[in-house]
Amino acid sequence: MEDLVQKKGVTSPIWQYFGFQADEHGEPLDINAVKCRLCRKSIMTKDGNTSNLRAHLRIHHPNECAKLGLTKGESSSSSQPSIIGAFAKCGKYKRDSAKWQECTTSVTRYLVKGLLPFNTVEKSSFTEMLQTLNSQYELPGRKYFSKTAVPDMYNSVRAEVEGLIKKADFYSLTTDMWSSTNMTPYMSLTAHFISPQWELQSKCLETVFFPESHTATNIAEGLRSVIQDWNLNEEKISCITTDNAANIKSAVRNELGWQWLNCFGHNLHLAVTNSVKKQRPCTDRALGVCQSVIGTFSHSWQKKRALLKAQQELQLPEHSLITDCATRWGSKQKMIERIIEQAPAIGRVLAADRRAQSLTWQDLDVLEAMNKALKPIADFTDILSGEDYVTVSSLLPTLLLLKSDTLSESEGDVKLTKDIKCGILTELESKYDCDSTKRLMCIATFLDPRFRGERIAEDDLRQTKTEIHTEMVKMMQEQGQTGESMRQEDEPPAKKKTLGSYLSKAKPPRGSFTEEERATAELTIYEQEPTVDGDDDPLAWWRTNSKRLPIMARLARKYLCVCATSTPSERVFSTAGNVVSPSRSHLKPDKVNMLVFLAKNA
């Protein structure tokens, strides 16, 4: 400690623990840069203010702080204290004060949205930052956030989410199963609904511990238990979107009796994977060489450096090679495309390495044929995986586009390209040949003002309009009122009743419409409306026209909230994987549920 110079002319005892680094003359190098004699950390001060020194001593050396017996009234050597010192003298916020609660809520949200461990609040860098920002706020420990702050925020946000879903006329669901790093099984459930302002919203409901066998009966009980625990009306469920697993399909259709839709993303993945497998052995040889080449460059820095040099010499894009993922067919297409792009550079580098497996011209022909079939459909999965815009109404138009254009035979297609395209289309169409699924897709497409009946076959269109008409009449009858008195969004405040308004109700009944007539009238008006642009938001159209077509608007709320893929629930487990990281693998399931819920909804 001899190298630290004592501050001259001070009276506060706190300075016995601090000093300044000396210059060659034994004078302080920087009067504002103070060093702790105990831990040698630097603390910035100004004008002789000691508030930062107090904070450092209290946080890092509590024993010395207690020995010193610091008091709020200790004077400073400065006759004009700094702003930080002035705030320090105001005292700490009381825990029952609004300001303390506001600060604690902000920290809690920072933890849950950032997927950070609770011990973050006990790290010195974090506490020092908060002290610098607001020295009046006293940060509680990790146990407070774990046992009090997070549960309180969970209960508050849960009540808000429950209220939003209960106000919705209808809601749809997505679900998926997952196991954490320590093999703890979970099931996620996400709700999707259209708000009164005609905005599509998604809310994660549960990431529930699911230790039971994944039988159809157990899955059904698990799903129904979540709905009941949330006090939601099961009859308001429009549909649930899942993967193609037989157990969950049986649980939804046979055990629960809910409308079921299989995930387009899973369907496309299976169609591509199975179609490529059917072209063995020629595709196996080419794909195997791709993976071998990528492995060669992945494990050798010299090879990577040589590839970069070859790219520069050949004036090729300086791109890295891409490894495929077995569960993401799109990564296989990207791997193939990158290999084709970099084939000249790869060939130049590997030409001198007899041990490395190289691409032949036959391999490149196979890869080009595969890429020609797969590249045009690479974007479809992502387009239909959104959860903040309508996707279900695009399913039928997408299948028609794939059949008529994207996967149809093109001039110059070799046999392998044709076979892969045909295989993908055949398997994909087979996934949507169920009558209930066709009905769902046709109704959703018709209720989308971008499409209406234009993408529906003539026979299917007649049946679709009949079913929509029947459902509209049923809705009015269940409401116990005509379509003219159906709930309308964003109505202005009711005007004061007058005598005339009361007498107007005394009209003879012969002029009123029946439910059937009202449904027919709305259908006719809707069909006569011009089709909107393909890039327009269908919910924006309904926001504008819901008052003119209140019954059809309610039907649109029912069907347009359905998701074309189960990706939203898969994203929940991506979040859960970050929550249950290897360093936090011992989190209890109820805490995992809270943290994932808040990360998605807070």
DSSP 8-state code for residue 81: -
Question: How many Cα atoms within 13 Å fall on the side-chain side of residue 341?
Answer: 15
Least confident of 77-81, 342-346, 388-392, 524-528: 77-81
In the chain, the N- to C-terminal Cα span, in Å, equals 49
d(CA 234, CA 335): 44
Beta carbons of 563 and 70 less than 8 angstroms apart? no
Task: Give 106-140 pLDDT, tens digit per residue.
Answer: 999 999 999 899 999 999 999 999 999 999 999 99
Q: How far apart are CA 598 and CA 160, in angstroms?
A: 12
Dump pLDDT digits (tens) for 436-492.
Answer: 999 999 999 999 999 999 989 999 999 999 999 999 999 999 887 544 445 544 444
Query: Domain coordinates of the chain in residue numbers?
Result: 4-88, 92-262+566-602, 264-433, 448-485+514-559
Q: Residue 24: is its pLDDT beyond 50?
A: yes
Q: For residue range 133-188, what is the model confidence (pLDDT) as tens digits?
A: 999 999 999 999 999 999 999 999 999 999 999 999 999 999 998 887 677 889 99
Per the CB < 8 A criterion, the answer to whether 310 and 321 are in contact is no
Q: What is the pLDDT of residues 535-580, one digit of tens each?
A: 999 999 999 999 999 999 999 999 999 999 998 888 886 776 667 6
Runs of H (alpha helix) within 314-391? 329-341, 343-350, 361-374, 380-383
**Residues 6+ positions from 472 with CB-CB distance below 8 Å:** 483, 515, 518, 519, 522, 523, 551, 552, 555
Measure the CA–CA gap between 39 and 47, rounded to whole angstroms. 23
Inter-CA distances, 365 with 73, 107, 308, Å: 84, 57, 24
Under 8 Å between Cβ of 342 and 310:
no
Per-residue pLDDT, 143? 95
For the chain, give the mean pLDDT.
Answer: 87
208-219 tens-digit pLDDT: 999 999 999 999
Of 388, 306, 391, 407, the closest CA to residue 347 belongs to 306
Nearest CA to 271 out of 417, 420, 438 is that of: 420
Query: Residue 508: pLDDT band by 50, 70, 90 thresholds?
Result: very low
Can you give the pLDDT at residue 582?
59
Q: What is the pLDDT of residues 326-343, one digit of tens each?
A: 888 889 999 999 999 999
Spatial contact of 546 and 196, defined as CB atoms under 8 Å apart? no
**Structure confidence at residue 583 as a pLDDT band (50, 70, 90):** low
- Four-point Cα dihedral 372, 378, 380, 383, nearest 10: -150
- Contact between 193 and 173 under an 8 Å Cβ cutoff? The reply is no
Helix, strand, coil shares, percent, the chain, to 5: 55, 10, 35
Euclidean distance between CA atoms 407 and 377, whole angstroms? 8
Q: Is the pLDDT of residue 261 over 90?
A: yes
Percentage of the chain modeled with pLDDT above 70 = 88
87 has a pLDDT exceeding 70: no
pLDDT recorded at residue 129: 95
**CA–CA separation, 435 and 447 (whole Å):** 18
- The per-residue pLDDT for 80 is 45
> Residue 92 above 50 pLDDT?
yes
Residue 59 pLDDT class (50, 70, 90 cuts): confident
Who has greater pLDDT, 310 or 512?
310
Cis peptide before 281 (omega within 30 of 0): yes
